[in-house]
Amino acid sequence: MPNDLASKCLDDIIEDYRSSLEGGVMPERALLEVEQGLRPDTKGYIRKEKGALVERITQNLITAAWLDKNNTLEGLEFKSKKIKIPARSDYFERPEIKKIFETMSEDEILQEKERYVYGMKPDVCVYIQDKFTLSVESKAFTENAMLKRILIDAWLLRQVRPNVSLALLQLENFMGGDYHELDKKIHMGSGSTHALMSYFNDINLQIITLLEGDRHPKKPIHEREHYKPLKKEHLESAMEKIKKLLD
C-alpha cells in the first residue's frame, strides 16, 4: 500500500482523468472551440488535450513513486529541455562529408561541425539530484509503428546518456499481445513488438499500460459510451514499476 502522500497523488490522477474524459466532456469542449472559431475541427483539440492529460498523469505517477520512496519531493525535478545528440566523429571521415569541408578553414570546419546536432526532447525527463535519471514517452496509445520510433529515439539517447532508464507509459494498448491484461505479472507482448525490440538488445524499455482492454479505433475513450475508468490498483502497480526505475 502506498503511503498517504503517494495515495493522495494517485487519487488526484484519477480525478484529473475522470474530469477530463468522463461523460464525453472533451468532445463537448472541442466543439465549443470550433463554434467559437478557435479551431477548424475537433480532432486537433482532442489529440492535444489527451496528450497533455497523459503527460500530467505520467509526471504525477512519478511524483507519487518518489513520495512513496522518500516522503518528500526534495531531489525530484522535471525538466523540459532538448538533449543534444551530436554527429558521430567517424561520420566526418566519409569521403562525401570530407568533400563538404575541403574548401573551408579549420575554424570554419569546427563551426560547421557544431551544427551537426540533433535536438531530442523526450515527453518527460526526470532528474534526481540534478541527474537525468529517467526518460518516459507518454502516449494515449501506442502502435508498433510508434514503438519503432520510440526505440530508435531510446537508442540515440543512450549514446549520450548511457545510464538513463527508459519507459513507455500508455493509457491503452494498440501493439497487440497482452499488454492490456493489467493483472498479469509477466506480459508476453506481441510478435511484432518482440521483432522490433530484438534489434535493440541494449534497450530495456519498461512498458506500462494503465487501462484494461485494447484500444478500438472506432470506440475512443473520450466518447461518453466508450469511457474506461482508471482504477487505483492499476495506478499502484504502475507506481511500483516506476519506483524501480528511480533507484
| pLDDT of res. 41 | 84
Q: pLDDT class for 233, splitting at 50, 70, 90? A: very high
pLDDT tens, 54-82?
A: 999 999 999 999 999 999 999 999 998 89
Q: Averaged over 26-37, what is the pLDDT?
A: 87
Burial class from Cβ neighbours inside 10 Å (0-12, 13-18, 19+) for residue 162 reads: exposed
Q: Say yes or no to pLDDT of 203 above 90.
A: yes
| pLDDT of res. 38 | 80
Contact 6, 68 (CB under 8 A): yes
| pLDDT of res. 27 | 87
| pLDDT of res. 187 | 85
For 203-227, b where at least 16 C-beta lie within 10 A, e where not — what string? Answer: bebbbbbbbbebbeeeebbbeeeeb
DSSP 230: P
| pLDDT of res. 184 | 84
Q: Say yes or no to pLDDT of 40 above 90.
A: no
The torsion of the CA quartet 54, 55, 56, 57, rounded to 10 degrees, works out to 50
Q: Which of 12-21, 23-32, 131-140 has the lowest mean pLDDT?
A: 23-32
Residue with cell 491503452: 172
Please choose, from the candidates 127, 9, 123, 109, the residue with its C-alpha nearest in 3D space to the C-alpha of residue 68. Answer: 9
The torsion of the CA quartet 102, 107, 110, 113, rounded to 10 degrees, works out to -50
Please choose, from the candidates 137, 211, 225, the residue with its C-alpha nearest in 3D space to the C-alpha of residue 173. Answer: 211
